Amino acid sequence: MDPARLTGAGRQDFVVVTGLSGSGKSQAVKVLEDLGYYTLDNLPPALMATALDVSRKGGKQKVAFVIDSRSGPLFADARTQLDALDRAGARPHLLFFDASDDVLLRRYSETRHRHPVDAPGGVQPSIDEERRLLVDLRARADKVIDTTYLSVKDLRDTLHSLYGAGKSAMLVHLESFGYKYGLPPAADVVFDVRFMENPFYIPELSDLTGRDRPVRDFVLRHPATAEFMGLVLPLLRFALPRYEAEKKARLGVAFGCTGGRHRSVVIADEVAAQIRTFWPGEVEVEHRDVDRTEVRT
């Protein structure tokens, strides 16, 4: 086997996907296929080097393999085979999928699939045993994606950020929301901006949103807003690379006001614009509640 052939164009062109059963690997494979990767699912780890060599000879420059506990005793060889790829100069980008036990249990109860580990006592002991088997792979992963609160769209956006044609740093997802409608479940960091003066009580601004220039000017000209921005932006500049160093593939940052139509919208847009000046990865903005109709009480 020729190490030079295995090296390819770089680690992003060779991805190995692993992680907990039920954590979203199958959905990820569909997205990787859309991104032009030649994928092999449930590959015995001992065949990775051979499969990569054959794929390269066949003109497949972007390759993604899925290895996990479905291969049973063959999966025990995963770490050894990854070490061998490293020595051959073909170190893959190792992508690990995870989710909370509650979510994994719910997904298995909905599908009624048999857990591949099949430990005595049912699904929960099987999840526990699988976590134990995957400790080493999770520790060596280049990126960890926790799908506990991710929608299919969130997962797709995250993978496009990592493996699309553009930037490959951690995806930063900024979201505005209204507290009256509940917290965004996928948010990692939440800022409450209800201390800012509320444009809703200004008659000429009430029916507008934070996407309109008069509301934006109203919110941003207040001293409290300027002071807040002077605090939150250095915090994010400090924190983002450290979150990425912890292998996060996506960071959700949410800004909440009462109804999610004015203050939080302005702040999310402004923070996004500032982050784009220093963050190399993709920065996206979602205004969850901006189109809800505000009701006066």
166 phi and psi, to 5 degrees? -95, -125
Q: Would the CA dihedral through 157, 159, 164, 170 be positive or negative?
A: positive
Domain chopping of the chain, boundaries:
3-163, 171-287
Fold classification of 3-163 is Rossmann fold (3.40.50)
- Spatial distance between the Cα atoms of 12 and 18, rounded to a whole number of angstroms: 15
Cα angle value 145/38/34 (rounded, 5°): 65
| CA-wise closest residue to 146 among 241, 243, 276, 66 | 243
Work out whether strand 143-146 and strand 189-192 pair parallel, antiparallel, or are unpaired.
Answer: unpaired
Q: Would the CA dihedral through 35, 40, 44, 45 be positive or negative?
A: negative
- Tens-digit pLDDT profile for the chain (297 aa)? 333 333 333 368 999 999 999 999 999 999 999 999 999 999 999 999 999 999 999 999 899 999 999 999 999 999 999 999 999 999 999 999 999 999 999 998 887 788 999 999 999 999 999 999 999 999 999 999 999 999 999 999 999 999 987 667 899 999 999 999 999 999 999 999 999 999 999 999 999 999 999 999 999 999 999 999 999 999 999 999 999 999 999 999 999 999 999 999 999 999 999 999 999 999 999 999 999 876 543
80's tokens: 């050894």
Is 284 within 8 Å of 176 (Cβ atoms)?
Answer: no
- Spatial distance between the Cα atoms of 97 and 95, rounded to a whole number of angstroms: 7
pLDDT at residue 4, as a whole number: 30
Helix ranges restricted to H, 88-122: 101-111
pLDDT at residue 5, as a whole number: 32
Cα angle value 286/150/154 (rounded, 5°): 50
